[in-house]
Chains A and B, each alone.
Chain A
């Protein structure tokens, strides 16, 4: 019998393929094309400027500041959200505390990530307010008035204040993701390790973490990508200020697109963010040898 080509699987793929092409790949390519033009959102004219948008992006005074801020955000988030978040997850999955207490903790850690970013931004605006804010008042009342700062108004502190806000919000999210992964680790391995005499630290490092490697990788990638797409946190607090000290790539893109009517420059920034996140993701997938156990 002649083997018939089975069409069905391809037909199932088509709608999804069209969606991915239309909504992801084509815009990415169009964006790349736009980055070589000078255009605005309301004007019909487009002027070809070759690499001028990139030249302006890389030579702008703000460029090193943005890259520095995004990298700060990335590194601190990896340490606090992924590192400390995973540690919290290990504690929550250990046998140190009762089930009920663990559930309560898990919820408490997770709740901040449910709050909308803008609301968190507003709330932290109040907390960091130099005159009426909670933080300065607290410092004063516990007798540490010397440590009072203008927080978001201080060039050297502003970006760290914003980063701190994100850590508060998203550590619990990563914790929850890791808890789910740890729960999927078969209990047999853990019990076997206990019989072999492995202590809690040894069990965590040699059994639980390696088996939850894929999830850890996902969390790392989410965090790194999130760090370079950072926008709302800055937009809802300092809008890049004071001066340009808390400027980040995402906000720079947005301001160029909608404030400076410079869609070409915004597209160029978008391409840069895309290149950074894709490179980082590929790099992580390679070094972690995803797919192998």
Chain B
């Protein structure tokens, strides 16, 4: 008897554990459906002909939004605006999640192909998004823009171009605009009688003068490897013709055999002696501190960093100049390095119209003006600068508004393995471990391999 009891107990326990395990394994997507079914049953909803989804949702549409700005003031701004939108649209509810830049890039890749994909999510323009487009995961926004010419006209064309594929498909709307400029310490320049250089030779002379005065001219930290890529991106723009770059940046046709690439590396090498020590041993943020604390005279930085520069030293008297032009180089000196960052809509969303409607408002002129004032970032709607009083933000806006054509961030433009190799080589060149020719040979090898990898 006793033995039997023991046996029954153990059988029962084992069965329970196995069952609970099976429940864990079963798709979590079943669970909410079950609960809602149970709920409607319990509530005695007698609507057998109605679809269970509609009955359960009570006509509230839940839109999932995933972004990469978890830090304030931006996060607080997004939350505030979404709360406003929800108040005005009682039928729409948002589920907002966010992650820091690096983890974001990894997480979005995992969720975007799954059923858990957010309806609206942040996505960099260029290759980052285009790999999703190749899999049909992003919604084509072109029909919506065509249907609403007013909306289309209200967005800055140079910026929208960056969110358009070669075939003309618009897949995202910019949330913040950005470009890379040289920031300089105006007081230091004045003391030495220098003015912002326009050509490469002037630039080198300026650097020599600063160095002769005992100050390390350029603040640069390349531990994370992308800051160096922005130098090379800007130099490639000038040294390599546009069509050659376009061909090489496309993973299916990339070769990187143009002599201009080696030349760009050589110009970069020229700058390295003017940078602070330990470029590869320091992050960009730490290097920026050198500039904001007055130890260095020049910093190659993004416009969105103005917010940080002001935080780190509100009293710093700084100005900006464009990347110096290299006379006689074969590339395009009019390009401005930088790209908008914006939101895309999943092709799997159940509420495409609602998502677009929200983006129209969220990335529109009215919200944009508040965003410019509160966060210091601009979206692509025309006129967001009208209420601005801060001179540094006004000059930042001018950089973008006056740009004839943007050129997407170098590290976003390249196929991931090619990008990785390029960043590795820039890092090695900075340390003086390889020559430009050796570096390009390695990049060419990876580019050739990438041709077969890119579907």
Cβ–Cβ < 8 Å partners of A183 in chain B = none
Minimum Cβ distance to chain B for residue A238 (Å): 7
Could you say which of A130, A131, A152 has the most chain B C-beta atoms within 10 Å of its C-beta? A131
Chain B residues with CB below 8 A from A18, complex form: 18, 21
CB-defined interface of A237-257 with B at 8 Å, one 1/0 digit per residue?
011011110000000000100
- Measured CA separation A152–B442 after assembly (Å): 23
Give Cα distance in the complex from A39 to B69, angstroms.
30
Q: Are A239 and B14 in contact, with the CB atoms below 8 A?
A: no
Give complex CA distance A239, B286 in Å. 17
State which of A9-17, A219-227, A272-280 sits at the interface with chain B. Answer: A9-17
Residues 321-357 of B, flagged 1 when their CB comes within 8 A of A and 0 if not, give 0000000000000000000000000000000000000
Contacts of B109 in A (CB 8 A): 40-42, 258, 261
CB <8 Å contact, A15 and B113? no
Contacting A at CB under 8 A, from B236-280, are 276-280
Number of B residues near A (Cβ < 8 Å) is 51
Q: Are A150 and B278 in contact (CB under 8 A)?
A: yes
Closest 4 CB pairs of A and B: A153-B281, A130-B278, A42-B113, A153-B280
B395 to chain A, nearest CB (A): 29
Minimum Cβ distance to chain B for residue A38 (Å): 8
Of the candidates B21, B283, B433, the one whose C-beta lies within 8 Å of that of A15 is: B21
Q: A119-149 CB contact bits vs B (8 Å, 1 = yes)?
A: 0000001001111100000000000000000
CA distance A130 to B216 in the complex (A): 14
Interface check B35, CB cutoff 8 A: no
Residue of A18, A238, A241 with most chain B CB atoms under a 10 A cut-off: A241
- The distance in angstroms between the C-alpha atoms of A243 and B453, with both chains bound, is 23
A153 partner, pick from B10, B106, B223, beta carbons under 8 A = B223
Q: Could you tell me if B10 and A12 are in contact, using CB atoms closer than 8 angstroms?
A: yes
Which residue numbers of B lie inside 8 Å of A, CB to CB?
6-7, 10-11, 13-14, 17-18, 21, 25, 105-106, 109-110, 112-114, 131-132, 135, 137, 222-225, 276-283, 286, 289-290, 416-417, 420, 424-425, 427-428, 430-431, 433-434, 442, 449, 453, 455
Q: How far is the CA of A244 from the CA of B426 in the complex (A)?
A: 11
Answer whether residue A233 sits at the interface, using C-beta atoms and an 8 A cutoff: no
A207 to B125, CA, bound (A): 67
| Complex-state Cα separation, A15 to B10, whole angstroms | 11
For A61, the closest partner residue in chain B by CB is B442
> Chain B residues near A125 (CB, 8 Å)?
223, 283
Q: Within the assembled complex, what's the spacing in Å between the Cα atoms of A244 and B290?
A: 26
Contact at B453–A262, with CB atoms within 8 Å?
A: yes
Instruction: Answer whether residue A259 sits at the interface, using C-beta atoms and an 8 A cutoff.
Output: yes
Alpha-carbon separation in the docked complex, A155 to B442 (Å): 18
Q: Are B110 and A15 in contact (CB under 8 A)?
A: no
B290–A42 contact, CB under 8 A?
Answer: no
The reply to whether B113 and A43 contact each other, CB–CB distance below 8 Å, is yes
A242 touches B280 (CB 8 A): yes
- A7 contacts the other chain (CB 8 A): yes
Cβ–Cβ < 8 Å partners of A128 in chain B: 281
CA distance A173 to B88 in the complex (A): 57
Beta-carbon nearest neighbor of B417 in chain A:
A260
Among A19, A22, A43, A239, the residue within 8 A (CB) of B225 is A239
| CB-based contact B135/A241 at 8 Å | no
Minimum CB–CB distance from B150 to chain A (whole Å) comes to 34
Beyond contacts A239-B224, A243-B433: 10 other A-B pairs, Cβ-Cβ < 8 A, are A42-B110, A44-B135, A132-B286, A152-B280, A153-B282, A241-B225, A243-B425, A243-B431, A255-B420, A262-B453
Distance, CA A63 to CA B430, complexed state (A): 22
User: B427, A41: Cβ atoms under 8 Å?
Assistant: no
- Provide the residues of chain B in CB contact with A41, threshold 8 Å: 109-110, 113
- Whether A7 touches B281, Cβ cut-off 8 Å, given contacts A43-B135, A155-B428, is no
A-B contact pairs, 15 of them (CB 8 A): A7-B11, A15-B14, A41-B110, A42-B109, A42-B112, A42-B114, A130-B278, A131-B276, A131-B282, A155-B428, A241-B424, A243-B424, A258-B110, A260-B416, A260-B420
The reply to whether A15 and B18 form a contact with Cβ atoms under 8 Å apart is yes
A214 at interface, CB cutoff 8 A: no
Contact A242 B430 (CB under 8 A): yes
Asked if residues B281 and A259 are in contact (CB atoms below 8 Å), the reply is: no
- The chain A residue with its CB closest to the CB of B216 is A131
In the complex, what distance in Å separates the CA atom of A7 from the CA atom of B109? 47
Assess whether A259 is in contact with B25, with CB atoms less than 8 Å apart: no
Beta-carbon contact of B25 and A154 below 8 Å: no
B14 touches A11 (CB 8 A): yes
Chain A positions within 8 Å of B131 at CB level: 40, 261
Is A8 in the interface zone, CB < 8 Å from B? Answer: yes
A7, A40, A44, A155: the one within 8 Å of B7 (CB)? A7
Q: Is B223's CB under 8 angstroms from A238's CB? A: yes
Q: CA separation between A41 and B132, bound complex, in Å?
A: 11
Contact flag A19-B14 (CB < 8 Å), given A43-B113, A132-B286, A260-B417 = no
Query: How many angstroms between the C-alpha atoms of A61 and B289 in the bound complex?
Result: 35
Selected contact of A259 from candidates B6, B21, B420, B431, CB within 8 Å: B420
A151 within 8 A of B: yes
Contact residues in A for B17 (Cβ distance below 8 Å):
15
B residues near A40, Cβ cutoff 8 Å? 109, 131
By the criterion CB–CB under 8 Å, are B281 and A130 in contact? yes
Asked whether, in the complex, the Cβ of A153 is within 8 Å of the Cβ of B278, the reply is yes
Check A131 against B278 for contact (C-beta < 8 Å).
yes
| Contact residues, A30-67 vs B (CB, 8 A) | 38, 40-45, 56, 61
